Amino acid sequence: MSDVRTILATDCGSTTTKAILIEKTDTGYRLACRGEAPTTVEAPFDDVTVGVLTAAREVEDLTGRTITTADGILIEHGTDRGVDMYLSTSSAGGGLQMTVAGVVAKITAESAERAALGAGAIVMDVVSIDDGRAEHERIEQIRRLRPDMILLAGGTDGGQSDNVVELAEFILAADPKPRLGAAYNLPVIYAGNKVIRDDIVAILGRATDLRVVDNIRPTPETENLGPAREAVHELFLEHVMEHAPGYHKLKAWTSADILSTPNAVGILVQQVAAKRGVDVLAVDIGGATTDVFSVFGPEYTRTVSANLGMSYSICNVLAAAGAANVLRWLPFEMAEDALRNSLRNKMIRPTTIPQDLASLGVEQALAREALRLALEHHRSLATSLKGTRQETIVGRVLDEATGGTLVNLMNLGLIIGSGGCLSHAPRRAESALMMLDAFQPEGFTELAVDSIFMMPHLGVLSTVLPEAATEVFERDCLVPLGMAIAPRGKVDAKTNDVATISGLPGGDITLGAGELRLVPLGVGECCEVTVRPARGFDMGAGPGREVSREVTGGVVGLFLDGRGRPFTPSPEPTTRVAQLRAWNEALGIPSA
């Protein structure tokens, strides 16, 4: 692979196809330029390659390098024409849409959902014996949704069988037709009790394209998601990609397998966590969905909040969060009716962008709530297993209890934000403040954003040329905003100070209760600090115990957050507006 000097990578999104050109220079691989075009998987084009070629031609115009031909992407080695390698990811046409089925909602169905999400799918519905629906309602829902594939799980090996067979019979009775392509059988993955595989094959073998893999929950204490995730990816390539308009051509052009967009991002997030040796949380907030990826210890988790977005789904965020929770982030007073009307206008004109500080404030307030709710959803699925066996009334199944969440904000080392409102905020400080407010990280946490949302491109590149992916990620993709120092503890009316911080470039600082401060510390600059938290506040070593460590700066600086954890703005309007304006002013952000 050492002879690879030029790489074209595209990401075919639901609305936009983005192309990047990477070139090898004397200092390593670097981003050369970027182009984009509307995605063309739907009418009137019905061919995803039209958008790919349009985006690639914009790269041609910017570089003067011939990249496309009438037949596709030009691949030529060792010349000044074409590229040495072409790669692509895709979530066009709505991405990979799945239904999962398991015996018990909080056990095997939840494990199946984690497997599907980790493979890059959007989970349209979770069917279980205890989901509260009548049999005909489950059958009708499976038939109506028309998923790309179904993942069926249930029972430990040698354990529960009757209800697993019942779920298979629901799928057979529903006879769902695949969303793309009517001439092939719907793919179904069985990842349940291995003892009844023959029974499942007898029920679904003829009516579906059945794939049998190892059990997701072979024992109550064990979760084995790998084989199911690999099967999802293989079937995505074999069926979904093959039947989507134009993908057979796109597949022939690429130098490696096409990955789903979230799967590619997940690969990159895991590599970043391994390379840096820290726990990582990454978020992509889009127009219709918000994806959250995390690596805590050895565990990787990805979730999709399918109705939390900043354009098409913006009113869903308002409905889920409530108007009061959105208004609490505005540094000015606004009537609830005015807020609702503003968001309705955004929903019916999803491509518009804010034209003044007030509308920008509203959009960023919504973003905080979308991020907060997405993290709550992620917490609920990023869980450890603590298996206990007990008989249950519903379905006579084993109850393999789920343990606590893996999301530990005190251990979190890096947060990466991406998506329009984070990557393209007018000021980098605004991106940082949105993540601080929404996620409320504790202790020491680095904040960063994806400069132009090229993590999918670099994720697929990392599977074939990891050196190039790493170099471009560090130099051109990741924008370090700075590190946050945030003591955990409750700030109340009796609290004066939360911590004393020594070793800072400008001298020691006593961080007041409810205070947010910014210390100038640029990219690549480091200093050794000692944080002495006040009584009742914790920096990771226990309440009141001092912690010393090296901290790094960024394009914004070093954030000192004395607002406590958890915190929320004051419910009293005048006090709230004053608080928010003070926090904005501390980071150099204007208030409307």
- 455 pLDDT more than 50: yes
Q: Which two tokens stand for residue 293?
A: 């990826």
Those residues whose C-beta lies under 8 Å from the C-beta of residue 198, and which sit 6 or more positions away, are none
Those residues whose C-beta lies under 8 Å from the C-beta of residue 143, and which sit 6 or more positions away, are 174, 175, 176
Asked if 261 and 241 touch (Cβ cutoff 8 Å), the reply is: no
* 531-564 residue pLDDT tens: 999 999 999 999 999 999 999 999 999 999 999 9
Q: Which two tokens stand for residue 104?
A: 């018990």
Burial 349-384 (b: 16+ CB within 10 A, else e): eeeeebeeebbbbbbbbbbbbbbbbbbebbbebbbe
SS3 content of the chain, % helix, strand, coil (to 5): 35, 25, 40
pLDDT mean across residues, the chain: 91
Domain span(s) for CATH 3.30.420.40 in the chain: 6-92
More confident residue, 247 or 327: 327
CA distance 472 to 584: 32
Q: Which two tokens stand for residue 194?
A: 């291995």
Q: Among 354, 114, 150, which Cα is nearest to 226's?
A: 114
The model's confidence at residue 236, banded by pLDDT at 50, 70 and 90, is confident
The angle formed by the CA atoms of residues 467, 471 and 473, to the nearest 5 degrees, is 115
Q: In what helix (H) or strand (E) does residue 481 lie, and over which residues does it extend? A: strand 478-486
Those residues whose C-beta lies under 8 Å from the C-beta of residue 13, and which sit 6 or more positions away, are 39, 90, 91, 92, 261
The model's confidence at residue 397, banded by pLDDT at 50, 70 and 90, is very low
Cα 360 to its chain centre, rounded Å, is: 23
Q: Which two tokens stand for residue 461?
A: 């590149």
Burial 208-224 (b: 16+ CB within 10 A, else e): bbbbbbebbbbbbeebb
CA distance 468 to 546: 40
Q: Which two tokens stand for residue 547?
A: 């912690």
Would you tell me how many other CB atoms lie within 10 Å of the CB of residue 520? 13
Mean pLDDT confidence for 44-56? 94
The model's confidence at residue 390, banded by pLDDT at 50, 70 and 90, is very low
CA distance 558 to 68: 45
- 335 pLDDT more than 60: yes
Residue type, 449: V
* 267-288 residue pLDDT tens: 999 999 999 999 999 999 988 7
- 400 pLDDT more than 70: no
Task: Report the pLDDT value the prediction gives residue 391, as an integer from 0 to 100.
Answer: 33
Task: Report the pLDDT value the prediction gives residue 350, as an integer from 0 to 100.
Answer: 81
The angle formed by the CA atoms of residues 98, 104 and 106, to the nearest 5 degrees, is 80
More confident residue, 423 or 244: 423
Task: Report the pLDDT value the prediction gives residue 247, as an integer from 0 to 100.
Answer: 87
Burial 433-449 (b: 16+ CB within 10 A, else e): bbbbbbbbbbbbbbbbb
- 351 pLDDT more than 80: no
| Rg from Cα positions in the chain | 25
CA distance 469 to 275: 12
> Does domain 6-92 match CATH 3.30.420.40?
yes
* 100-140 residue pLDDT tens: 999 988 888 889 998 988 887 888 899 999 999 999 999 99
The reported pTM is 0.85
What is the dotted CATH code of the domain comprising 95-245? 3.40.50.2300
From residue 513, how far is each of 140, 326, 446, 474 by CA, in Å?
Answer: 55, 24, 22, 35
Task: Report the pLDDT value the prediction gives residue 14, as an integer from 0 to 100.
Answer: 75
Q: Which two tokens stand for residue 350?
A: 């999803």
Those residues whose C-beta lies under 8 Å from the C-beta of residue 314, and which sit 6 or more positions away, are 343, 346, 347, 350, 366
Domain span(s) for CATH 3.40.50.2300 in the chain: 95-245
Q: In what helix (H) or strand (E) does residue 167 lie, and over which residues does it extend? A: helix 162-174
CA distance 465 to 4: 9
Task: Report the pLDDT value the prediction gives residue 94, as an integer from 0 to 100.
Answer: 64
* Percent of the chain predicted with pLDDT > 90: 73
Q: Among 107, 450, 517, which Cα is nearest to 280's?
A: 450
Query: Which 3-state string (H, E, C) describes 524-556?
Result: CCEEEEEEEECCCCECCCCECCCEEEEEECCCC
The model's confidence at residue 95, banded by pLDDT at 50, 70 and 90, is low
Cα 403 to its chain centre, rounded Å, is: 22
From residue 143, how far is each of 148, 152, 205, 232 by CA, in Å?
Answer: 12, 15, 18, 20
- 395 pLDDT more than 50: no
* 163-194 residue pLDDT tens: 999 999 999 999 988 876 666 789 999 999 99
Task: Report the pLDDT value the prediction gives residue 297, as an integer from 0 to 100.
Answer: 94
